[in-house]
């Protein structure tokens, strides 16, 4: 079972000191790695109860809110509200530490992330995360983009646009968007439905490539009565080439940088009942610590792990590579026991010297994880930033300009 598709327009860098809410799912189901049936006792759970408005995945949120973080049976330690450029929005914390609100009206047609961490009287932490987008002005549309302006990303990072309104004239909109590379490289577009337009080259970006997204959407009629609002350039740089190859049968992850093997790490991936997706996936988020709750992947109250260390998101539906401190250390490199995620050895609180900690330090958003195995479901190309699972002929067929029609595009 998969969680709702997340917004891929938010800032993807880790927020230091914050614990973020997530799920964990793969090709056969949802869930985090098997939780404390593998250990003597479950870790203590914070009594602090956080609530965040708007909820994760909310769209067309009014610019004047409401936006609020509140906590019961605890106090807020940190709150960060930031737009898709990473610019923080100032806010005010109530005297009792129980409520936080922004100090100003939000911008229209903008993607935001809202992250909060609180603690209870015993010092145990709880966290909440939401990614949402504010509404565009009436009868206009905007394209929310990934990656962010000025970022350095891995070789697998596609350019992804999510539009605030369904696009009827895809050819007109696609014609108003360009992605150019330096050194020059052919880059093609592909539509996933009527609100997502991605761009990628045939193979991974060459390391060191400088990429510019040109948005010339202002006054373009994307749908009857809806005009674009943007005329801007977005720049990012492709860093070194880091690719992690996961062999589900051998229970290993081989990490290569610019073709050189750096390390071979032991892993425990999805069990036969909850297989890990096969195929090529791209790191879209990095979190030093994240919360994994079974409710986010449709498994009710089965588990709630509030301090999963060194988490790298691979799919919108909830697949992560992450540290695991609760399973029997003997499973890593020997058995697949998770509910779909790829777990590496780690310690409670996260250790930089652990395999998971080492991988986290060497990984940036846009890095590639290639998963192979004798069994499992292939990841859908529109699940997160998994664009590379389409052959080049399939990819280019998804362009409205190349086909002269509305592509199906998944």
Q: Which residue is catalytic, options 339, 341, 362, 406? A: 341
Name the DSSP letter for residue 229. Answer: -
24 labelled catalytic: no
- How far, in Å, CA of 290 to CA of 300, rounded? 19
Does a cis peptide bond (omega within 30 degrees of 0) precede residue 54? yes
Q: Residue 176 corresponds to which tokens in the numbers above?
A: 């108003």
Q: What are the angstrom distances between the C-alpha of 355 and each of 14, 236, 285, 286?
A: 19, 29, 18, 16
Report strand pairing: 19-22 vs 285-293.
parallel
In the residue annotation, 139 being an active-site residue is answered as no
DSSP sequence for 253-288: EEEEETTEEEEEEE-B-B-TTSPPPBEEEE--EEEE
Q: How far is the C-alpha of 107 from the C-alpha of 184, rounded, in Å?
A: 35
Burial class of residue 41 in the structure, from the number of CB atoms within 10 Å of its CB (0-12 exposed, 13-18 middle, 19+ buried) = exposed
Q: Catalytic pick from 322, 339, 362, 406?
A: 322
Rounded to 5 degrees, φ, ψ at 392 are: -60, -40
Q: In this structure, what is the dihedral angle of CA atoms 209, 210, 211, 212, given to the nearest 10 degrees? A: -160
C-alpha 281/C-alpha 283 separation (Å) is: 7
125: CB partners within 8 A, 6+ apart: 19, 46, 48, 77, 117, 118, 119, 306, 307
Q: Which tokens sit at 174?
A: 């696609």
Q: 347-358 b/e with 16+ CB inside 10 Å = b?
A: eeebbeebbbbb
Q: How far is residue 146 CA from its own chain's centroid?
A: 10
Question: 47: which 2 tokens?
Answer: 């009594």
Look up residue 407 and give its two tokens.
């592509």
> What b/e readout covers 220-250, taking b as 16+ CB neighbours within 10 angstroms?
bebbeebebbbeeebebbbbebbbbbbbbee
3-state DSSP assignment of residue 83: strand
Contacts of 394 (CB under 8 A, 6+ apart): none
What amino acid positions are annotated as catalytic residues?
Answer: 322, 341
């Amino acid at each position: 079972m998969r969680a709702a598709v997340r917004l891929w327009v938010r800032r993807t860098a880790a927020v230091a000191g914050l614990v973020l809410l997530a799920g964990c799912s793969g090709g056969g189901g949802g869930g985090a790695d098997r939780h404390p049936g593998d250990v003597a006792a479950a870790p203590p759970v914070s009594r602090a109860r956080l609530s965040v408005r708007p909820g994760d995945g909310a769209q067309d949120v009014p610019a004047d809110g409401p936006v609020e973080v509140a906590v019961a049976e605890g106090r807020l330690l940190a709150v960060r509200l930031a737009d898709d450029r990473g610019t923080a929005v100032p806010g005010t914390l109530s005297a009792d530490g129980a409520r936080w609100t922004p100090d100003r009206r939000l911008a229209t047609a903008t993607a935001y992330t809202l992250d909060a961490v609180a603690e209870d009287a015993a010092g145990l932490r709880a966290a909440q995360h939401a990614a949402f987008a504010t509404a565009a002005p009436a009868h206009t549309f905007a394209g929310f983009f990934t990656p962010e302006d000025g970022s350095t990303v891995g070789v697998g990072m596609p350019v992804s646009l999510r539009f605030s309104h369904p696009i009827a004239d895809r050819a007109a909109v696609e014609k108003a968007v360009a992605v150019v590379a330096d050194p020059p490289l052919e880059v093609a577009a592909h539509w996933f439905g009527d609100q997502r337009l991605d761009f990628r080259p045939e193979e991974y970006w060459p390391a060191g490539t400088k990429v510019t997204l040109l948005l010339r959407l202002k006054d373009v009629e994307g749908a009857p009565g809806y005009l674009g609002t943007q005329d801007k350039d977005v720049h990012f740089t492709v860093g070194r080439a880091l690719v992690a190859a996961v062999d589900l049968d051998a229970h290993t992850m081989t990490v290569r940088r610019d073709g050189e093997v750096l390390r071979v790490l032991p892993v425990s991936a999805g069990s036969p009942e909850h297989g890990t997706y096969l195929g090529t996936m791209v790191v879209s988020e990095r979190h030093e610590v994240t919360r994994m709750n079974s409710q986010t992947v449709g498994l009710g109250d089965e588990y709630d792990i509030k301090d999963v260390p060194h988490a790298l998101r691979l799919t919108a539906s909830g697949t992560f590579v992450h540290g695991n401190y609760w399973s029997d250390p003997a499973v890593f490199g020997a058995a697949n026991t998770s509910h779909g995620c790829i777990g590496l050895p780690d310690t409670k609180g996260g250790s930089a010297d652990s395999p998971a900690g080492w991988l986290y330090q060497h990984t940036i958003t846009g890095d590639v994880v290639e998963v192979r195995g004798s069994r499992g479901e292939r990841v859908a190309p529109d699940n997160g930033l998994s664009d590379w699972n389409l052959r080049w002929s399939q990819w280019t067929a998804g362009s409205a300009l190349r086909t002269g029609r509305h592509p199906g595009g998944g």
